[in-house]
Amino acid sequence: MSTSNKIRSTITDLPKGSVFSCKDFLSVGTRASIDQALYRMVNAREIIRFARGLYTVAGEVNTNAVVLAIEKKTGERVGKALLNPSTSTAMTIPTSGLSRTVVTGGHQIQFRRMSQRKIQLSQTAKGLVLLDLWNRGMKDLTTIEIKRATGNWSQSEIDRYATLIPEWLRSSMKQSNEQRKSIQLGLSGPYDWSSTQIKDHVLITKVLEKHKFEDLVRVCFYYGVSRVKRVFRNSVFDSITKATVRRMLKNISKGLS
């Protein structure tokens, strides 16, 4: 039996998707004959070579086995696979080593060189969410998208990843997940619906303009009557609103005092 056939017979006995190297076949021939046999099998697309000295059967790629083999042989730090949402036949695997692509059986595995922070993020489900946001970039993200992805995370979970993500993403997460002042104050409506970063005097002005008594009371209690009156004096309202607010502020002042 030829060296190639002996190698094929040995491979057949391996679990599906196994990774192997020339060392696994030293009992069937010389090192030179094994290297030549593996070389011919790669050219015939029976097996694929995904790293120096590492092979797997074409069409039977076990991603986890490939990752573990690369980590063991090269010392690279390899993350978990990042699935490409646009196709089920391609995936990207973060690595600290060289970028390279393995194509087999209609599937494509791309090892992409990334920073240690990105590799670490890829180790957990929430880290993968952040890595996706990071890779999309600041210009292509909206506050709504970030809130949809991370809005239900606890502060401790957010803090856990704070040192692994860039400053722009930390700031965007803080802004998108920050509780609106209208909620903090218990106001009846979303006066700050257009911006979570609304300035205090703008919020006070909006409440004065609406002049809903219970909201005005809460604003006066939170900011102080003096500050609310100062904003009132510096704002422009119609005569009816002015008279109504002036009367309300007088009554609130008496009540709080």
- Does 25 lie in the same domain as 103? yes
Q: What is the pLDDT of residues 50-109, one digit of tens each?
A: 778 888 888 777 777 888 888 888 888 888 877 665 555 567 888 988 888 876 656 677
Which residue is listed with tokens 């969410």? 129
Q: Which two tokens stand for residue 149?
A: 């992805």
Q: Provide the pLDDT for residue 78.
A: 85
CATH number of the domain enclosing 32: 1.10.10
Residue 239's CB: how many other CB atoms inside 10 A? Answer: 7
Of 114, 132, 161, the position where a domain reaches its end is: 114
Residue 6's CB: how many other CB atoms inside 10 A? Answer: 17
**Which residue type sits at 103?**
V
Is the pLDDT confidence value at 237 over 70? Answer: yes
Higher pLDDT, 104 or 44: 44
Average pLDDT over residues 200-204: 92
Q: Provide the pLDDT for residue 86.
A: 54
Q: Provide the pLDDT for residue 105.
A: 57
The tally of domains found in the chain comes to: 3
Q: Provide the pLDDT for residue 3.
A: 87
- Does 101 lie in the same domain as 10? yes
Q: Provide the pLDDT for residue 104.
A: 60
Q: pLDDT > 90: what percent of the chain?
A: 36
The CA distance from 154 to 233, in Å, is: 41
Average pLDDT over residues 249-253: 92
Q: What is the pLDDT of residues 208-224, one digit of tens each?
A: 999 999 999 999 999 99
Q: Provide the pLDDT for residue 107.
A: 67
Is the pLDDT confidence value at 48 over 60? Answer: yes
Q: What is the pLDDT of residues 143-186, one digit of tens each?
A: 788 888 888 888 888 889 999 999 999 888 887 777 678 877 88
- Does 97 lie in the same domain as 197? no
What stretch of H or E contains 91? strand 90-95
* Contact present, 58 and 48 (Cβ < 8 Å): yes
- Does 128 lie in the same domain as 106? no
Q: Which two tokens stand for residue 86?
A: 């646009």
Q: Which own/partner contact pairs does 196-204 have at CB distance under 8 Å and 24+ positions apart? A: 196/143, 201/231, 204/228, 204/231
Q: Provide the pLDDT for residue 106.
A: 63
Query: Which residues are CB-contacts of 93 (< 8 A; sequence separation ≥ 6)?
Result: 63, 67, 78, 79, 80, 81, 82, 109, 110, 111, 112
- Does 164 lie in the same domain as 227? no
What stretch of H or E contains 230? helix 225-233
- Does 158 lie in the same domain as 196? no
Closest CA to 99 of 120, 73, 78, 69: 78
Of 132, 158, 177, the position where a domain reaches its end is: 177
- Does 26 lie in the same domain as 8? yes
Is the pLDDT confidence value at 41 over 80? Answer: yes
Of 177, 200, 225, the position where a domain reaches its end is: 177
Is the pLDDT confidence value at 25 over 80? Answer: yes
**pLDDT bucket at 226, cuts 50 / 70 / 90:** very high
Please report, in angstroms and rounded to a whole number, the separation of the first and last CA atoms in the chain: 102
Higher pLDDT, 110 or 226: 226
- Does 138 lie in the same domain as 77? no
- Does 188 lie in the same domain as 109? no
Closest CA to 207 of 187, 179, 237, 183: 187
The CA distance from 141 to 138, in Å, is: 6
What is the span of the domain harbouring residue 101? Answer: 3-114
Q: What is the pLDDT of residues 114-139, one digit of tens each?
A: 999 999 999 898 999 999 999 888 88
- Does 221 lie in the same domain as 154? no
Q: Sheet containing 54-57: give its strands across.
A: 19-20, 54-57, 47-51
